[in-house]
Each structure stands twice: as structure tokens, then as C-alpha cells.
Amino acid sequence: MSFNLPDDTPENVRAVVAAAARLTGIPEDEFFVRDHEHEQLSPGAFSIAFEGWVDPDPKRSTEWPYLVSQSQHVTPDPYPGLFLEPLSHWGLAVYPA
């Protein structure tokens, strides 16, 4: 298990990390998952951050939170029970829906 993805990370949050990796090409172990206290989010929420290298392709390094959050607006919902919201160019908030 990656140090960046704590063992107690819920499966549905792990699915968001896997989708972020698939949509951007950034390896899963480059994302950091933390509970709501880390970014002072609502209880039950998680933050997913990528604070790594800058790639010339913006979807890989600065636009990934927007790309991943937009992927929730399809049918069927790929992240049931979750709502995704960009925090900024480096992070994504994952809230229980």
C-alpha cells in the first residue's frame, strides 16, 4: 500500500484516486489522500492532493482537479455517494453526498 494512500481510505475514495490516475496519467502513488481535518473540510470529507512536478500538459499537473470533478457528471454516476469539488489546481475535495 502506498504511504500516500492510508490503509483506512474508503473504497469509494480509492476509486476517485484510480479515476484521477486513469484520466491524467499521473501514477496513483503521486496523489496524497487525507481526511477532512487536513484541509479543514466538513467531517466525513477527504482531500486528494497532487503536489508533484509540473508537466507541460496542464491536465496532468494543474487542471486535474477540474477534469476529475467534471467526470462525475455522467450517467451512471461513477462515484455514487460522493460529490467532488476542486480545491484549487493542486487538490480535490471528496464529500459524502
Q: Interior CA angle at 87 toward 53 and 13, to 5°?
A: 85
Give the list of residues 6+ apart from residue 56 with CB closer than 8 angstroms, or none.
none
CB 39 within 8 A of CB 48: no
Is residue 90 over pLDDT 60? yes
Summarize pLDDT for 54-80 with one digit per residue, the tens: 666 666 667 889 989 999 998 888 999
- CB count within 10 Å of CB 31 equals 24
CB 21 within 8 A of CB 28: yes
| Whether pTM exceeds 0.85 | no
Q: Where are the domains of the chain?
A: 11-96
Beta bridge partner(s), residue 47? 34, 93
